[in-house]
Amino acid sequence: MATIRSREDQDGITIGWQAQIKRKGFPLQIKTFRTKAEATHWATVTESEMMRGIFIQRSESEQTTVHDLLSRYAREILPTLKGGHKELSRIRVLQNGLGQYSLAALNSSMIAKYRDKRLSTMSEKTGRLVGTQTVKHELGLLQRALKMAVMEWGIALPNGIPTAMVKKPPLPAARTRRLIDNEESRLLDACADAQTPWLLPVVIFAIETAMRAGEILETWKYIKDTEGGKVKTKTSNGLQWSDVDLNKRTAHLPMTKNGEARTVPLSSRAVEVLRHLPRNLDGRVFGTTYEGLHQSYARACKRADIEDLRFHDLRHEATSRFFEKGLREMQVAAITGHKTLQMLKRYTHLKAEDLAKLLG
């Protein structure tokens, strides 16, 4: 049975009402309210939940804000994830938008309003509206943190996991950019004329293997630390000679973007590229970084008069060519490292004229 007591200040004036519930099998529940009616209502509802077996301990979720939760997630979980540092900027955005709310108060309506506000915000980095992919990543991060709170940290959420009830913004149309007409020969000629000797072999190797830039080359990135300062951090070591077997025609990648190792088979053209490379003392196959190569690649595209061809589009090109050679979905996935066929589909754009040849 609940006990309702008034709370007085030093002058004996009632300043609030405290409700206390003692019930066998449940932790002691104490909460203070401004009016007696509010205290009585809370006690009635709480006792009803206990009797029906649906009571949820709310004290920790009421005392923990979204800001606190995300800070703990950044401190304890992100360091264990490959590329976890990339989530720090998303955590700061989420903390600015939702950080003041307690986990107990957080609901789907608040998150939907956050989603809509973000989609109408101009990005300081690009000068354009924040993209749907960006917002979807932010909501996904929040959902993972809330799940961690429930499953691992013992924080009960009275409203469940509200992000699961919010409609995610639709993804933008996947890029379909491939090399067309004589663009490949023009691109390779321009790469051959580049001042950096690494440009041509890197581009050919990317087209032949569908490997990501961070899997081929050492990659660095400037990120903000918890105090807002910029720190240069290595995000990839790039391909190492110790992981290449020219006799077996394979390149082993011990750690990839999706957190799993994979071994990439090498075409005869890719092997030929590697055989003509000098050996670096640091063990890297390509003795440069993606940051160092980026401008050279952009200049080569400009010299070749090729527009809107990103380095990552070479992965799209290679993946599509694997299908055009007759490889099946699982065979291609084993080479590219895509975890699901849906993800693989986004990187695959087959040419209609090649499909027509298969029809006879």
Kindly state the tokens that stand for 223: 């990120």
Alpha-helical regions (H) of 195-256: 199-209, 213-216
Helix pair 132-151, 66-76: axis angle to 10 deg: 90
Our answer to whether residue 338 is catalytic in this structure is yes
- Count of beta carbons in the 10 Å neighbourhood of residue 314: 28
Pairing mode of beta strands 29-33, 14-21: antiparallel
Residue among 176, 97, 81, 79 at smallest CA distance from 134: 97
Our answer to whether residue 212 is catalytic in this structure is yes
Our answer to whether residue 312 is catalytic in this structure is yes
- Count of beta carbons in the 10 Å neighbourhood of residue 338: 20
Helix pair 183-192, 199-209: axis angle to 10 deg: 150
Distance between CA atoms of residues 272 and 67, nearest Å: 53
Choice among 58, 85, 118, 338 that is catalytic: 338
CA 127 to chain centre: 22
Choice among 23, 177, 257, 349 that is catalytic: 257
Choice among 90, 315, 316, 321 that is catalytic: 315
Our answer to whether residue 316 is catalytic in this structure is no
What Rg value do the Cα atoms of the chain yield, rounded?
A: 28
Tell me the torsion sign for CA atoms 191, 197, 199, 205: positive
Choice among 168, 248, 312, 328 that is catalytic: 312
Kindly state the tokens that stand for 30: 């104490």
Q: Which residues contact 47 (CB under 8 A, 6 or more apart)?
A: 1, 2, 21, 23
Choice among 212, 284, 316, 321 that is catalytic: 212
Contact 238, 253 (CB under 8 A): no
Our answer to whether residue 294 is catalytic in this structure is no
Q: Which residue has the tokens 């390779």?
A: 188
Alpha-helical regions (H) of the chain: 36-52, 59-63, 66-76, 88-98, 108-119, 132-151, 183-192, 199-209, 213-216, 268-275, 290-303, 313-324, 329-336, 341-346, 352-359
Residues with catalytic function: 212, 257, 312, 315, 338, 347
